[in-house]
Amino acid sequence: MKHTITFLPDNVTAVVNHGETLLGAAARAGVYVHACCGGDGVCGKCKVLVNKGEVRSDKANLKQEDWDKGYRLACRSAVESDMEVTIPELTTKGGRALKRKPKTTRTVSAKALDSLVGKWQVDPPVSKIYLELPPPTIEDNIADMQRVMRGIRQHFPEDHHREPYYDLPELIKYLPRTLRDADWKVTLLLLRGRNQGDTFRIIDIEAGDTTSRLYGLAVDIGTTTCSGVLIDLHSGEVLAESSGYNGQISFGEDVISRIIYAGRPGGLKALQAKVIGTINAIIEDICRQVVISPSDIAYMMAAGNTVMSHLLLGLDPKYLREAPYVPSVSEFPLTKAADLGLRTHPSTRLFLYPCVASYVGGDIVSGVHACQMAKSDKVSLFIDIGTNGEIVVGGKDWLVCAACSAGPAFEGGGIQYGMRATAGAIEKFQIHPETLEPMLVTVGQTKPSGICGSGLIAIVAELLENKVIDQQGKFRHDLDTPRVRSGSSGWEYVLAWEHNSMIGEDIILTEVDIDNLMRAKGAMYAGYQTLLESVGLSFADLEQVILAGNFGAYLDLEQAICIGLLPDIDREHFYYLGNASMLGCQISMTDMSRFREREGVRQLMTNMELSENPQFMQHYMAALFLPHTDMRLFPSIGRKLAGE
């Protein structure tokens, strides 16, 4: 359920989900509310006056008299209806009321993805049929398996002239017992062939009629996080979700350190065991949620980057890192999940999305597949931002792709107070244009303990827009605020004072941090440019920009454009795809005809190596500026910075 909130006195509106906080709504709408404790309710600064509508609130640090007057703390108030609220006027130190500058562009959000992804059928790669077989007699004593085959032929009188395959020895070992215990009434689990017209394979037999139970697990194997989604393959419905850190983290944060670890004695096996353990924990959690057995999972569809895919299968990732960057394999055959150590039915198959190159993996193919850009007449730019940013440009006739090493800034790495997007990480940020006081919203709405990637972008964008820093990312030294100061490693901005911080010290952003962010966003932007130029196009030709990945989902579009991470084109062209890798898996597992397209998608994708590309280096150098040295590429930001 959605609600509309009107913020006075600026008369800005925001559409929010039922239950969202007023602080979150204000942040989204670009309305500044004084909030310095991250949403924890302790600073008591974010009080707003509720004029109309319902909120569920607790008092926290709000004074009784304010409560009685109708004030509520924005961070502790869940929206339960359409509302109108008034933000109290701030005063200058001199007592003068400050005029707020409405930030109208901030309400632009990327489009929903339905138009992009389209509908899919429920026609999964596994199916079940229920057979009531005649028991054997002395006149009809064919083998159990041949009796089953005969039953299948009678069940599909038209379609199946060719004998199905079946799993040996797993299936036959329990077939005779199952048939007799079930009085010859059994359900078969069938796996469809790789190509249209291929014969299928019997992978399981169950006593009685179990056709109503048919589940599939989609798995996204991230370097940092692995997630699983359980899907009812009869309805296509998502029944449960779970995720967890990839257990390999203990052997290194990024893919390079994992590759190095894999080269140590026993390292490869250990890494494989860790990710298998992580997925097993996800399976266990999901099965507990919906009360099914892991052996009820009939199919698994997974995607991960090339290194993660290699490690999952126990393949040495060594050559991925050495020029000329060659994977062992890029199209992975269907494998038995149990053979890898996954706690599933012994016959459950795991499909792993094909990779394109060492640094353009199955997660990207899955995402590109999900968003259907390989079937579109439009020219699309697909972006997955991370330590390794992946970029795909093209449409139905061709796709070029590349990976660029952006460094860890987007994941909070290399930033003094950087952290992952866990509880306490500043993820939304605004600055009061005159007082330069911050408005912080943290993950989990606790006191702040650091800055995550999306927070970093928001902070730098706000600092730039409010001229606290210049386009080179350097602090102005002439500002009348204690928050901008010269610290031990140069000039810095204090995001939270010690007493409002979870970690008991000031949380700051330094010029070094800003530099790191510029390098990261510069690499991404240079990547777009290089790819587009390689096919003779420019940003003006882009008809769709598709943001994949969890990071993309948290990105404030306007802020990302402001720092030069995303191109400054019509905001209507942007789409948030969220976890596109997972979405591709979900769709493929649910719809066999979509699934069969993935090979074509992968084959359409031509990889470009940027690491040794002189064009790329040139673009990269030019992008080390906020938003860019060539302001003609960022006309709207130019106008904004000029105060137009």
Binding site for a second copy (CB under 8 A): 136-138, 140-147, 162-163, 165-166, 168-169, 172-173, 175-177, 195, 313-316, 318-319, 323-333, 335, 339, 355, 357-358, 607, 609, 612
What's the min distance (Å) between Cβ of 495 and a second copy?
A: 43
Backbone angles phi, psi at 109, to 5 degrees: -125, 155
CA neighbor of 223 nearest in space, from 432, 410, 5: 410
Q: Which helix (H) or strand (E) holds 426?
A: strand 425-431
What's the min distance (Å) between Cβ of 568 and a second copy?
A: 32
| Cβ count within 10 A of residue 343 | 18
- Alpha-carbon separation of residue 74 from 49, 137, 166, 450, 454 (angstroms): 9, 77, 61, 21, 21
What's the min distance (Å) between Cβ of 164 and a second copy?
A: 10
Please identify, using beta-carbon distances, which residue of 64 and 196 lies nearer to a second copy. Answer: 196
What's the min distance (Å) between Cβ of 537 and a second copy?
A: 21
Please identify, using beta-carbon distances, which residue of 243 and 366 lies nearer to a second copy. Answer: 366
- Alpha-carbon separation of residue 69 from 6, 48, 50, 72, 88 (angstroms): 19, 11, 9, 9, 13
What's the min distance (Å) between Cβ of 157 and a second copy?
A: 18
Please identify, using beta-carbon distances, which residue of 355 and 633 lies nearer to a second copy. Answer: 355
Largest CA distance in the chain: 105
Contact 591, 121 (CB under 8 A): yes
Q: Which amino acid is at 490?
A: G
What's the min distance (Å) between Cβ of 404 and a second copy?
A: 15
Please identify, using beta-carbon distances, which residue of 327 and 527 lies nearer to a second copy. Answer: 327
Please identify, using beta-carbon distances, which residue of 377 and 612 lies nearer to a second copy. Answer: 612
Whether a cis peptide bond, with omega within 30° of 0, leads into 438 is no
Residue 151 and residue 156: Cα distance in Å, rounded? 9
What's the min distance (Å) between Cβ of 403 and a second copy?
A: 12
Please identify, using beta-carbon distances, which residue of 56 and 177 lies nearer to a second copy. Answer: 177
What's the min distance (Å) between Cβ of 177 and a second copy?
A: 8
CA neighbor of 298 nearest in space, from 127, 437, 181: 127
Strand partners, 399: 394, 605
Please identify, using beta-carbon distances, which residue of 107 and 335 lies nearer to a second copy. Answer: 335
Please identify, using beta-carbon distances, which residue of 227 and 272 lies nearer to a second copy. Answer: 272
Q: Which amino acid is at 473?
A: G
What's the min distance (Å) between Cβ of 277 and a second copy?
A: 18
What's the min distance (Å) between Cβ of 312 and a second copy?
A: 10
What's the min distance (Å) between Cβ of 331 and a second copy?
A: 7
Please identify, using beta-carbon distances, which residue of 66 and 599 lies nearer to a second copy. Answer: 599
Please identify, using beta-carbon distances, which residue of 164 and 448 lies nearer to a second copy. Answer: 164
What's the min distance (Å) between Cβ of 309 and a second copy?
A: 11
Please identify, using beta-carbon distances, which residue of 2 and 180 lies nearer to a second copy. Answer: 180
Strands 185-191 and 126-132: antiparallel
Please identify, using beta-carbon distances, which residue of 255 and 355 lies nearer to a second copy. Answer: 355
DSSP for 230-242?
EEETTT--EEEEE
| Cβ count within 10 A of residue 264 | 11
What's the min distance (Å) between Cβ of 279 and a second copy?
A: 16
Write out 56-87 in H/E/C secondary structure.
EECCCCCCHHHHHHCEEEHHHEEECCCEEEEC
Please identify, using beta-carbon distances, which residue of 388 and 516 lies nearer to a second copy. Answer: 388
| Cβ count within 10 A of residue 203 | 24
Give the distance, in angstroms, between the CA of residue 583 and the centroid of all CA atoms in the same chain: 10
Please identify, using beta-carbon distances, which residue of 300 and 463 lies nearer to a second copy. Answer: 300
CA neighbor of 165 nearest in space, from 148, 140, 181: 148
**3-state secondary structure at position 633:** helix
Q: Spell out where 257-325 has E strands.
A: 297-304
Backbone angles phi, psi at 418, to 5 degrees: -70, 150
Q: What are the residues whose beta carbons fall under 8 Å from the beta carbon of 26, sequence distance 6 or more?
A: 7, 14, 32, 33, 48, 74, 87, 439
Q: What is the dihedral of CA 55, 56, 62, 66, to 10 degrees?
A: 40
Q: What are the residues whose beta carbons fall under 8 Å from the beta carbon of 124, sequence distance 6 or more?
A: 214, 216, 233, 299, 589, 590, 591, 592
Contact 312, 275 (CB under 8 A): yes
Please identify, using beta-carbon distances, which residue of 355 and 563 lies nearer to a second copy. Answer: 355
What's the min distance (Å) between Cβ of 559 and a second copy?
A: 36
Strands 12-17 and 2-8: antiparallel
Q: What tokens were used for 195?
A: 């190509």
Please identify, using beta-carbon distances, which residue of 9 and 333 lies nearer to a second copy. Answer: 333
Q: Is the dihedral of CA 530, 535, 536, 538 positive or negative?
A: negative
What's the min distance (Å) between Cβ of 611 and a second copy?
A: 9
Residue 85 and residue 83: Cα distance in Å, rounded? 6
What's the min distance (Å) between Cβ of 380 and a second copy?
A: 24
